Structure 1
């Protein structure tokens, strides 16, 4: 089985068996799409739904946004024989992991749901929201997905600071 890992701003399309596309998500969203007749599928991983009106975005950064990432994924699938009308999908991610970042995960999740509804793409599994990261493994040829919550990372050990030992006159102090 061949594994292909993607990170934010990337996508991958597969039309052969025995390939797994994987990613790790927090507030980002991954869409797993498949045409079950053509047996073509793929996954993307986007950072934000849409760029803000006041934020100019260069061409190199466009696929970090769901509005562009979804079209790239769909078009790449259609180039391999998929038909837009037969697409089915699964959505993952959109967690609100860091409280100080506001509702970025929720906004991403809302964008993904709205896109799928607007485009008429049926949603199978939908694991959006929550407060934990997810690992997603997708087998596009079969249309099978496994999503697991990533346990919280253990706290970093605190460094214990010892009071400095004062050296007696003439002694060497080691640090």
Structure 2
């Protein structure tokens, strides 16, 4: 996990993750807290969090591939099948893997299964941290959609993640 020097300085090896997260939030190291939560949440919940952030940042008329990427990721969250997981790749690729929606879709694609083509004899499992990294990227890119609101968007996304972590829907204040 790629954390800032300030975040690394706050790390206490024997402290629980929740204490480290609180320290990051108290220090207003929101991007680091988002990266930590992306890794700490279970994969399906992390993808959902990325979807919520991406949907909240969509312009009134999003690029068709962005909408398709987000819909594919949400479909995987609601029905995490291999078919739905694989359907996330093409629309994310169409957006060059550069948008919040594309990263939410890649978080779902990297959630399990194989990265090899469906008919390949070899299984290439995704790395353990890929889903969390992509989900956090979706959240960070969504927050950056309105630069003057980035801190407020970071705080709102952190509240969503904590709600999800505690069994909620993540639709805080909705």
TM-score w.r.t. the length of structure 2 is: 0.25
TM-score w.r.t. the length of structure 1 is: 0.25
Structure ranking higher in strand proportion = 1
Structure ranking higher in helix proportion = 2
Q: Which has the larger radius of gyration?
A: 1
